[in-house]
Amino acid sequence: MKKQVIYLGADHAGFKLKEQIKRYLLGLNFEVNDLGAYKFNKNDDYPDFGFKVAKAVSKDKNSMSILICGSSFGVCIVANKVKGIRAVSIDNIRDAKLSRQHNDANVLCLSGWNLKFNMAKRIILVWLKTKFSNDLRHKRRLAKIKNYER
């Protein structure tokens, strides 16, 4: 069975959390593709990593990704500019589950400033394990988004 592919990206404000998440996901036997930052650099910019990760996920339809910046908002805005991306900024378990069940989110955005690693692990595990519900109302809504993107 093929491993689930997870793309990771973070700016300086999310770098430490990204490195912790990378080790965590590898320990869970996911295939992790780290697209940067590869070292701490306080002068890097979140759009660079947000676009790189979102483009990778848009091309690899069976993959998912986790992006981290200070607030999580910047990378979320950037990722949602890429066609086919449904990025969400999440800070709790309930929303992690709903974003997958209802919205089939494929990019999880986390705050490097506000999330502790233990909470991030819980959010990530729920988010990765929750499947899209396939309810007709949710499929209809996602179809409207796809139609708009065309």
Catalytic residues: 69, 102
Tokens of 38: 């590869």
List Cα–Cα distances, 144 to 59, 62, 89, 91, 141, in angstroms: 20, 21, 21, 27, 5
Cα dihedral 97, 8, 79, 74 sign: positive
Q: Is the dihedral of CA 95, 93, 36, 46 positive or negative?
A: positive
Closest among 123, 111, 113 to 73, alpha carbons compared: 111
Would you report the helix, strand and coil content of the chain in percent, each value rounded to 5?
Answer: 45, 15, 35
